């Protein structure tokens, strides 16, 4: 995936982000009001302290000083109160935008066709959905509103300083041009560093996701040391990216402190003389010292806030790149009823990439209630057939019809609801058996689940588990055997009562005992419904009405089991080879 460069502030991206803040306009206005209020009120305390020095400390008026001190304390508590609500509103706004945007991104990703996931690392998508969107929340909580507040505070402080004494102000601001130059250099350096940090985070997430998912392969082939070395390199790149950002901070903040001290020194040097000559009061000098601290604190904060904003812009560009990706199957169909299950391929050509054809001029028919099996070598195109029936991928030429109607004329949701697929690699979620079967469909009751389990012969082993149907299978069903996971997938298909059933290598990874159970489940599932079976073990398809032998995307033989054996061709050779292996 292309790396994102981003801008310090991208108006186009920001306007897109603000669209998600529209439902929370009242909260945004409250946060903005409090931001402006705090910036203006910020200069009130130094003013009151300066007034206290001139009117009460110098005059030794303890009663007046006590009253003014109480006023200052009241102003302080008022500021703290307003600061609490400003922080709360801005963070609440950021999190509200986050939840809406994250929901939209996740929903958008779930609509992508499978081809997108074939070429995109899952860890990268996880980064987009989680940490990149989190940086967008910080635009509101620590970025834009904070920048506005700090800028307004700077304007208020500098304006007030000029109003009190333009000479003191000019002396105090003498180091500012050098500080502005330093900020520009820092901003550019930290922008590059943060861009690299986001890229390295994405790479790190992708690597960890992939290798934890494939940990069994890593351990089986004794790859721990080599993968550890790869991880060390990626992790080190991630560290270097962060160190570059830390280096920029470690240089910038000491410079700000030095310039702040220079500014204070110039103020004291000229201010003391001004007091002695009567040009300024002692209170003004004390007030200016406090204002200098107020002036440099926002400057330090601004540099950091601009970087937060930059991170948000980078995250926004990455997230909107996902939202602008249109990898969905076109759903222009309107038919949402009437499927009976007569499937017909007419001269279908299909390729995953360009003209590298996987299926070539494929034509066959699976009549309503008929069981059709596909066999052939790996890469012959068997799984591609079922991917096209479900419209997980789009074919390039020819036509696929169901009950005489082009498959693209059916509403996509309706079509997939009428087709159940049982895959070789069964995916179970880390929840209960019952929820893995119903997929949290409230219309499917537990009584229907148990009835389906009994029908496919799985009720007995489920009831023996702790908690029965409430048993938590953990991540990817790791607490169950391969055969048990496969049986659960059969129950899942059964309770949805589809018109068309697709079994993709459903028995290739199970032992003989489990295969017998699964074969009984297959016999029950295929009754009175159109079934397409892709089989590695030929013993599971001998009852099929028709067996189609594929080779390099083309049909080379078809017929029932006995007919194909008599042909003494491809199927016979496959059968003899497999039968010999089983005897051995």
Q: How far apart are CA 191 and CA 301, in angstroms?
A: 16
Tell me the longest C-alpha to C-alpha distance in the chain: 120
What is the average pLDDT value for the chain, to the nearest integer? Answer: 81
Q: How far apart are CA 77 and CA 88, in angstroms?
A: 17
Nearest in space to 332 (alpha carbons), one of 390, 395, 413, 397:
413
Check residues 362 and 258 and name the one with the higher pLDDT. 362
How does pLDDT run across 21-47, given as a tens digit for each residue? 889 999 988 988 888 888 888 788 888
Lowest mean pLDDT among 2-11, 264-273, 478-487: 2-11
What was the pLDDT predicted at 220?
A: 65
Q: How far is it, in rounded angstroms, from Cα 527 to Cα 520?
A: 11
**Percent helix, percent strand, percent coil in the chain, to nearest 5:** 65, 10, 25
Q: Nearest-CA neighbor of 242 among 250, 230, 254?
A: 250
Q: Top-level CATH class of 13-323?
A: mainly alpha
Distance CA 308, CA 219 (A): 41
Would you say residue 230 has pLDDT above 80?
yes
- Taking each continuous run of H as one helix and of E as one strand, the counts in the chain are 22, 10
Beta strands 371-376; 357-366: pairing state: unpaired
> pLDDT value at position 511?
57
In tens, the pLDDT along 54-65 reads: 787 877 878 888
343-583 topology per CATH: Rossmann fold (3.40.50)
pLDDT single digits (tens) 116-143: 776 777 777 877 888 788 888 878 777 7
Q: Which long-range contacts (CB under 8 A, 24 or more apart) does 391-397 make?
A: 391/329, 391/415, 391/416, 392/113, 392/114, 392/329, 393/113, 393/114, 393/115, 393/350, 393/352, 394/113, 394/329, 394/330, 395/348, 395/349, 395/350, 395/359, 396/349, 396/350, 396/351, 397/347, 397/348, 397/349
Residue 346: pLDDT band (50, 70, 90) is very high
pLDDT beyond 60 at 248: yes
As a whole number, mean pLDDT of residues 458-484 equals 80
Tokens of 311: 């991170």
* Extents of the domains making up the chain: 13-323, 343-583
**Among 473-482, 517-526, 537-546, 574-583, the least confident range:** 574-583
What percentage of the chain has pLDDT greater than the value 70?
A: 93
β-pairing verdict for 554-559 and 405-406: unpaired
Neighbours of 75 (CB within 10 A): 16
Is pLDDT of 386 > 60?
yes
Measured distance CA(284)–CA(130) in Å, rounded: 51
Of 428, 513, 508, which is closest to residue 474 (Cα–Cα)?
A: 428
Say which residue the tokens 């029965």 belong to: 468
Higher per-residue pLDDT: 440 or 4 = 440
Q: 146 pLDDT exceeds 80?
A: no
Beta bridge partners of 530: 500
* pLDDT score recorded for residue 242: 78
- pTM of the complete model: 0.67
Q: In whole angstroms, what is the distance from residue 563 CA to residue 114 CA?
A: 37
* Among 180, 198, 150, 206, residue whose Cα is nearest residue 310: 198
Alpha-helical segments (H) within 165-214: 166-172, 176-213
Two structure tokens written together for 312 = 């948000």
What is the mean predicted confidence (pLDDT) over 308-314? 77
pLDDT reported for residue 63: 85
Q: Is the pLDDT of residue 554 over 70?
A: yes
Determine the 3-state secondary structure of 309 from DSSP: helix
CA gap 319, 103 in Å, rounded: 12
Q: Is the dihedral of CA 256, 261, 265, 267 positive or negative?
A: positive
pLDDT in tens, 71-85: 888 888 988 898 899
pLDDT greater than 50 at residue 527: yes
pLDDT band at 419 (very low <50, low <70, confident <90, very high): confident
Please check whether residue 132 is in contact with residue 319, taking contact to mean a CB–CB distance below 8 angstroms: yes
CA distance 173 to 196: 35
């Amino acid at each position: 995936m292309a790396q994102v460069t981003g801008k310090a502030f991208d108006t186009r991206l920001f306007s897109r982000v603000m669209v998600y803040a529209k439902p929370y306009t009242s909260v945004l206005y409250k946060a903005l009001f409090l931001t402006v209020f705090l910036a203006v009120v910020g200069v009130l305390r130094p003013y009151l302290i300066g007034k206290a020095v001139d009117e009460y400390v110098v005059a030794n008026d303890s009663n007046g000083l006590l009253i003014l001190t109480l006023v200052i304390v009241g102003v302080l508590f008022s500021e703290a109160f307003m600061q609490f609500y400003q922080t709360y509103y801005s963070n609440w706004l950021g999190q509200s935008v986050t939840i809406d945007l994250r929901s939209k991104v996740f929903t958008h990703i779930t609509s992508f066709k499978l081809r997108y996931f074939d070429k995109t690392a899952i860890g990268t998508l996880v980064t987009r959905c989680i940490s990149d969107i989190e940086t967008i929340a910080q635009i509101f909580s620590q970025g834009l509103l904070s920048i506005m507040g700090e800028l307004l505070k700077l304007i208020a402080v500098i304006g007030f300083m000029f109003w009190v004494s333009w000479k003191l102000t000019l002396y105090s601001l003498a180091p500012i041009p050098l500080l502005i130059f330093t900020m520009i250099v820092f901003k550019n350096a930290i922008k590059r560093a943060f861009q690299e940090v986001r890229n390295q985070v994405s790479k790190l997430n992708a690597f960890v996701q992939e290798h934890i998912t494939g940990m069994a392969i890593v351990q089986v082939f004794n790859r721990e040391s080599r993968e550890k070395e790869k991880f060390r390199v990626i992790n080190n790149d991630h560290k270097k990216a962060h160190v570059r950002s830390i280096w920029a901070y470690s240089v910038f903040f000491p410079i700000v402190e030095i310039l702040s001290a220079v500014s204070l020194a110039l103020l004291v040097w000229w201010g003391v003389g001004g007091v002695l000559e009567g040009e300024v009061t002692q209170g003004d000098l004390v007030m200016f010292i406090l204002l200098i601290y107020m002036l440099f604190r926002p400057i330090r904060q601004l540099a950091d806030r601009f970087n937060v904003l930059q991170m948000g812009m980078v995250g926004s560009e990455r997230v909107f790149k996902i939202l602008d990706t249109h990898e969905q199957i076109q759903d222009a169909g309107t038919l949402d009823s009437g499927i009976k299950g007569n499937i017909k391929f007419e001269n279908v050509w299909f390729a995953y990439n360009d003209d590298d054809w996987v299926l070539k001029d494929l034509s066959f028919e699976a009549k309503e209630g008929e069981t059709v099996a596909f066999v052939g070598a790996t890469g012959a195109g068997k799984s591609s057939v079922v991917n096209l029936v479900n419209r997980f991928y789009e074919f390039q030429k020819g036509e696929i019809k169901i009950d005489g109607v082009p498959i693209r004329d059916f509403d996509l949701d309706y079509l997939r609801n009428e087709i159940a697929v049982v895959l070789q690699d069964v995916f179970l979620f880390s929840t209960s058996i019952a929820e893995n079967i119903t997929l949290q469909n409230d219309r499917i009751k537990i009584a229907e689940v148990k009835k389906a389990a009994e029908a496919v012969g799985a009720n007995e082993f489920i009831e023996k588990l702790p908690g029965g149907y409430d048993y938590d299978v953990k991540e990817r069903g790791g607490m169950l055997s391969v055969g048990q996971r496969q049986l659960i997938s059969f129950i899942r298909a059964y309770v949805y009562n589809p018109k068309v059933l697709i079994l993709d290598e459903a028995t290739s990874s199970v032992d003989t005992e489990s295969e017998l159970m699964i074969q009984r489940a297959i016999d029950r599932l295929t009754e009175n419904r159109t079934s397409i079976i892709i089989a590695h073990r030929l013993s599971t398809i001998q009852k099929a009405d028709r067996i189609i032998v594929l080779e390099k995307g083309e049909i080379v033989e078809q017929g029932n089991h006995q007919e194909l054996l008599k042909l003494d061709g491809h199927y016979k050779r496959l059968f003899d080879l497999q039968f010999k292996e089983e005897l051995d």
